[in-house]
Amino acid sequence: MRFWDKLEKSIRQRDSLLCVGLDPVEDRIPPQYATVADFNKAIIDATADRACIYKPNIAFYEALGSSGMCALRETLDYIPAEIPVVLDAKRNDIASSAAAYARAAYQVWNVDALTVTPYLGRDGVLPFLACNDRGVFLLCKTSNPSASEVQDWAQGGEPLYLHIARLAETWSGGGEIGLVIGATYPQAIAEIRAHSPTMWFLVPGVGVQGGDLEAVLRAGLRADGMGVLINSSRGILYATDPGAAAKALHERINTVRARVRAEPQVLGAQALQVRELASALFEAECVRFGDFVLHSGAHSPVYIDLRRLVGYPRLLAQVARTYTRLLSPLTYDRIAAIPYAALPIGTAVALQTGDPLIYPRREAKTHGTKRSIEGKYREGDRVVLLDDLISTGASKLEAVASLVAAGLVIEDVVVLIDREQGGRQELARHGYRLHSAVTLQGLVDALVADGKLSSADGRRVHEYLKDQDRGTR
């Protein structure tokens, strides 16, 4: 039987998406077990009615030397034949070495599937895919804290982890392949699911690492209620009662799974991106709530200051990726940022997309070149105007006038936040389209949903925004 068929059969038999990780640490094994293998066998006995798949991590066995290898052999032989096994070994190498690793996994250890790193490219992965009856899970977006140092690296606005997901489908030649995606990144799970509707996800990080089970299932479940394997290792292995711990997690998974499938709309990639962005802006105090006196002298319960982004490089990069998604369907030659808040944003976007950046000066330059627009451009170039947010649209039209006077063509304006105070309509009246990542009301709703803002404060902000909207009509 092919691995993927065996997996689905096991899932249906147990009504389970639970993957139990068999990662024994010798000094944490209770004293009543004489060997690592005995401990593993007890775990298997306690969880075999709940686990749809087992995942031993070979590192924990290699660390014990030859006795550990014997324990792995005993463990694999003990797992019921109808339950598939994925060996977590993260293998890869040049083609001939990769082929040897594949033989070791599939012929010597006789496991059903293997975790594989994609770093060497196609020829380092194909030897593992050559065994048609076995499964491969490619590392895509891992749950460790520094994963973003490599996996979030972007080209043309597309992060490396999404590029890996796209490559995985081409490498598998239309066959089934899985991805390892950490539970701590539900937005990435949703993003990848949007591009890969049928792919399997192996998801570690729920439990000890703090992953949100409901967010993961909302982001990753396929329409058939499958497609996601929730792994738990330490949370089950070292529980006072491993069987009870497995049962509890299995029931939590199925409760959320049933709720998600029953809902008419599942929280998708875009909504998760908004929630993640709102939370990050709130934590960086780019969005604050209280009583603020504005330049006009009026009072406001909310204050937005995206100039603070320069103090948070990772958040600035996240914001730049958001702009990049908004820019991707547009046609243009270069981008223009409005000083001052949008200048660092525009620079970050240009570094991600490779688009040339210009900006209109706020003050006339009275020396040197006396340029009113900085950067390289030609008359007739199509330009997209970038700013941090929009209220009435007046500052956008002022910047547009400066650029148009220089012979540039502008049709689109892109901002992070739309305060919904008439700016969109004002731009449209002058023939310009507005593209925004989130409305201020949507941002407030996301913070209320995440418990970062009380419902009462959320309603107060909404009433204020409605009053502002009425005042612009």
By the 8 A CB rule, do 130 and 102 touch? yes
In our burial notation (b when 16+ CB lie closer than 10 A, e otherwise), range 419-445 reads: bbbbbbebbeeeebebbbbbbbbbbbb
Torsion 38-43-49-55 (CA) sign: negative
How many alpha carbons fall within 13 Å on the CB side of residue 126?
9
Do 359 and 384 contact (CB within 8 A), yes or no? no
How far, in Å, CA of 435 to CA of 418, rounded?
A: 9
Are the beta carbons of 35 and 245 closer than 8 angstroms? no
Cα distance between residue 390 and residue 395, in whole Å? 8
Return the half-sphere exposure (C-beta side, CA atoms, 13 A cut-off) of residue 93: 9
Residue 55 annotated among the catalytic residues of the structure: no
* Cβ atoms of residues 368 and 411 within 8 Å: no
Name the one residue in this structure whose structure tokens are 């006396």.
Answer: 370
| Helices 160-171 + 122-129 axis angle, to 10 | 50
Closest alpha carbon to 330 in 352, 353, 348, 306:
353
Q: Looking at this protein, which amino acid is placed at residue 2?
A: R
Which candidate in 6, 9, 90, 376 is catalytic?
Answer: 90
Asked if 51 and 249 touch (Cβ cutoff 8 Å), the reply is no
* Residues with active-site annotation: 90
